[in-house]
Amino acid sequence: AGVIRMSGGSGLTAFSAGVVTRALPDLATYALYRLECAIRSSAVLGFVGVPTLGYEIKTAYEDGHYREIWTYLYILLAVVIFFEWWGAKMRSLLTKGVASKKPEVKQPNVDHLWKSRGTSLFLRSSFLIVLIGGTMSWLLEDRWGSGVSWEQKIQNLDRFTDEVVPYPVREADGDWSEFGPWFGEKMSKGGSEAVWQTFHLGTASILLAGALAILAVSLSARTLASSMPRGVWDRGMAWRPVIGAMLRVAAMLGRAMPEFILAFLLLRVFGPTVWALILALVVHNCGILLRLGAEVIDNTPSRASSVILAQGGSRTSAYVGALVPAGFTRIVLFLFYRWESCIREATVLGMLGVASLGFLISDAKVSLFYDEMVLWVALGAALVFLGDLTSDFVRYKLRGKNNR
């Protein structure tokens, strides 16, 4: 991009040819990853009445059709796993490229080079599938509309904007001096406890998930689980590749299961306990951290680890003594990134009945107390925002001023 700008090219040209082209594999696979996340989120939306897999799972449980629950879970897992494979395949093709054909002439011109360029039927088909599927999802879906007229929507909006103002303020004709006592009353009657409960849920979950992931990465990382760890031949421990493959599959299944659905099922098994929510968050985030941590270890160049293994040291010694210190910064960054996500998910999981901000939001919604509902939503957003600031601060300090 810098060379294009120095040659007189415009900023748009430099961005398109110098930045987008190099980042295309990451952009494509990240787009598919976000599509995978959107599928998980759409399943969760079924619990508020939207006809998705989540709605079918909830209905099957309420009707006592437990076999149907497993069927829907298998379908969800299959869809998520398919998109993960799809993204990995696209990333491999975009990164490695496709071999070009041999030109038919000895001195090919631009036209001959263009015709002999490497092409991939898989990439072209993927682009067409995404384009056609996205278009059809908007044009052929007949359930997007709510069936409510614009006049009724405007009336609902007016009512909401009126009732979102705290009740004492409305009664005092807009005197916002009444907000303080009302806010203090709400916080003393469960708000403070819900905030702390949400914070503790997210923090406890990420600590457990992080500890399990760090212990398991030494077994799941491909460069340590193979018969030649870090390029050093090792005859023993033939079981390591098998254990590594099993852990990678378990991590994939944990990532594929939405926390909300997993927590819903665990609450039905263990009852209304906080540990059901923590376990759901631990399973999902441990799967994510296990994959991210294994990628960090596999992609971290470390001659010290090879030296330790060549001198007869164990794989655990190479992992703890060389690889973890070399990739420590990125590991901590991922840990704080998932902690921030756990705080957000802990807020949502409260809607399943455990006392947290999500429970207060759900209770206020059922009671049509929109002022309280907006208050709890704002507190949840503030808690997530503080977690985001803390995460950004830690990332800044770990990366250093030269790597922002």
For residue 346, give the nearest of 366, 365, 360 by alpha carbon: 360
Domain that includes residue 320, residue range:
197-403
> What does the H/E/C string look like for 246-266?
HHHHHHHHHHHCCHHHHHHHH
The CA distance from 262 to 264, in Å, is 5
In 3-state terms, what secondary structure has residue 114? helix
Confidence at residue 236, expressed as pLDDT on a 0 to 100 scale: 58
Does one domain contain both 354 and 218?
yes
Residue 353 lies in a domain: yes
Residue 252 lies in a domain: yes
The CA distance from 389 to 188, in Å, is 26
Confidence at residue 402, expressed as pLDDT on a 0 to 100 scale: 44
Q: Using one digit for the tens of pLDDT, what is the confidence trace for 241-251?
A: 788 888 888 88
Q: Which residues of the chain have pLDDT under 50?
A: 401-404
- Tell me the pTM: 0.76
CA dihedral sign of residues 307, 312, 313, 315: positive
In 3-state terms, what secondary structure has residue 64? coil
The CA distance from 351 to 360, in Å, is 8
CATH number of the domain encompassing residue 349 = 1.10.3720.10
- The structure tokens listed for 325 are 């210190």
The CA distance from 275 to 273, in Å, is 5
Domain-ending residue, one of 55, 82, 97? 97
Domain-ending residue, one of 97, 131, 147? 97
Domain-ending residue, one of 97, 116, 143? 97
Confidence at residue 212, expressed as pLDDT on a 0 to 100 scale: 93
The number of helix segments (H) and strand segments (E) in the chain equals 21, 0
Confidence at residue 228, expressed as pLDDT on a 0 to 100 scale: 66
Residue 192 lies in a domain: no
Q: Using one digit for the tens of pLDDT, what is the confidence trace for 194-227?
A: 889 889 998 999 999 999 999 988 888 877 776 6
For residue 258, give the nearest of 109, 3, 8, 43 by alpha carbon: 43
* Number of domains, the chain: 2
Burial category of 357 from C-beta neighbours within 10 Å (exposed 0-12, middle 13-18, buried 19 and up): buried
Does one domain contain both 90 and 219?
no
Which residues, 6+ apart, have CB-to-CB distance to 57 below 8 Å?
Answer: 43, 46, 69, 72, 73, 261, 264
Residue 146 lies in a domain: no
Residue 76 lies in a domain: yes
Confidence at residue 279, expressed as pLDDT on a 0 to 100 scale: 93
CA dihedral sign of residues 234, 235, 236, 239: positive
Confidence at residue 207, expressed as pLDDT on a 0 to 100 scale: 94
Task: Answer for the pair 230, 223: CB distance below 8 angstroms, yes or no.
Answer: yes
In 3-state terms, what secondary structure has residue 380? helix
List alpha helices for 97-239, DSSP H: 110-115, 121-139, 150-163, 167-171, 179-186, 192-220, 222-225
